[in-house]
Every structure is written in C-alpha cells, then in structure tokens.
Amino acid sequence: MGGRGPKQELAEKIAGEITLSDDPGATLRKWRTDFGVSQTDLANELEVSSSVISDYESGRRESPGIGVIGRLVEGLLTIDERRGGDRIRQYGRVLSAGFESDVVYDLREYATSKPLIQLYDEIGATEVAVGNTDRVSGHTVIDSIGAITRLSSEEFFRLYGQSTNRVLVFTGVTRGEAVAVALRVVNPTPNAVVLHGIEEDDLWEHAADLARIDGYSLAVTTEPLEDVLDHLVTLE
C-alpha cells in the first residue's frame, strides 16, 4: 500500500481506467454517474461550463490529456468528500479486501446485526425462500458474472468479509441459476442472497429449492443499482 490512502488509490485507478480506455468519454461518464455527480456539479467544481464535461463524455472534444483527467478525477473525489466520502470509503473497503471494484461494488460490516426484513425493505427486495436466520451483520454487493468467471473458490469465500452472517447481493442476474449452483460449492453459505435485476417470475425454477436446502434466505429486486447501494449505506 506504501502509505497511500483509499482516495489516492482510487484516484489512480479511475485516472488509469480513463486514460487506457478505448472510449475515455464513456469511462469518465461511468465513474461520474457511479459517484452520483451531475455534469453541472462537476463543471461547477472545476469552474468550467457544463458543455465542456458533456463534450468530453460524448467524444465531441478530443480525448482529455492526463492533466485534464487528473483534474476531473480530483473534482469527483472532492465532491464525494464534501458529501461525506461514502463512495471513497466504499471503494477503500473493496480494495483493502483484495477485490477489483468492477467485481465487488461494496463490502461492509454493520456495528450491530440488522433484521433481514429491514434490509429487504430498504432495497425493495421480495423474499422467495425463507432461510434459517433472520438477521445479518453485513453485506457484499457483487457483479455476478465477474464473480463466477473470475474468482477462485477461496476468493469467492472472501466475499463474506468478516462473517457468513451477511447478505450477498448479486447484480447482473438473468435467471439466478449460475449463482445458485456456485453457492452449492462454497461452504458454508451466507445467511441471505439477493438476486438483483430479476423479477420473481423470471427466476430459475430450482433456485428457491436450492436456497431452502442450503438454509439461506433468497430474495429478488429490480431497484436501480445506485439506489440499492445508497440505501444499504443507511444500514451501517
């Protein structure tokens, strides 16, 4: 780590991604929206007009040089700090747990365990299978395809953070089959699993049965990912 804090590591990661991207404007837009910062807010922070940010993101302006990228990234992080630094802390936790932020979006432990029903209410989730326990002590939000294709079983287990007494939220789910099967190989299983981006009617027919066999609660939600991440913050 070399003494660098989460902010510095994140700044280097974002700047690197934008610089190396085939479409720097689209990558800048991805990070800006991920931080919940409008083009106007970023433009005001950098004391430029909104059209400058818009032109960079759309490719109407030539790709920004490293100096401009550095200012854009610093602007995003400064705005986040002013708002309380939620996104910086979020990425810091993910990076310190040894994951890439495109596989794990958030990994957090709660000060006290929370009723599962409270968490489901916060993220608009519908429970389709009841588990053996009804409280959780943390959550991890994971890109399902990235986790299943890129993580070893040992890394998969690290998604549990400090405890399996948590909810794993898998995003980018189409049927839930791959997640249900992957969880069968990992022991022990988490207390709860939320499949994000899928309606109950589209769920793989055996997913609820496997959840009941393995004893974890299974729920689905179609809330926008940004809203899910924002609402989970309130559970700390």
Rg of the chain on CA atoms, in Å: 19
User: Cα separation of 124 and 130, whole Å?
Assistant: 16
How would you class 198 by CB atoms within 10 Å of its CB: exposed for 0-12, middle for 13-18, buried for 19 or more?
Answer: buried
User: Cα separation of 28 and 19, whole Å?
Assistant: 10
Task: Give the position of tokens 């083009």.
Answer: 39
Residue 2 has pLDDT above 70, yes or no: no
Average pLDDT, integer, range 56-71: 88
Task: Give the position of tokens 């994140």.
Answer: 10
What kind and span of H or E run contains 121?
helix 116-122
**Cα distances (angstroms) measured from residue 34 to each of 54, 73, 141:** 16, 12, 14
What is the structure's pLDDT at 163? Answer: 83
- The contacts of residue 83 (CB under 8 Å, 6+ apart) are none
What is the structure's pLDDT at 4? Answer: 67
Reported as a single tens digit per residue, the pLDDT across 139-157 is 999 999 988 888 887 888 8
Average pLDDT, integer, range 198-208: 95
Q: Domains plus CATH for the chain? A: 6-88 (1.10.260.40), 99-233 (3.40.1390.20)
Counting every residue written for the chain, the total comes to 236
User: Cα separation of 28 and 57, whole Å?
Assistant: 6
Residue 3 has pLDDT above 60, yes or no: no
Lowest mean pLDDT among 42-51, 147-156, 167-176, 219-228: 147-156
Average pLDDT, integer, range 223-232: 89
Query: How is residue 100 annotated by DSSP?
Result: -
- The contacts of residue 94 (CB under 8 Å, 6+ apart) are 100, 101, 104, 105, 106, 107
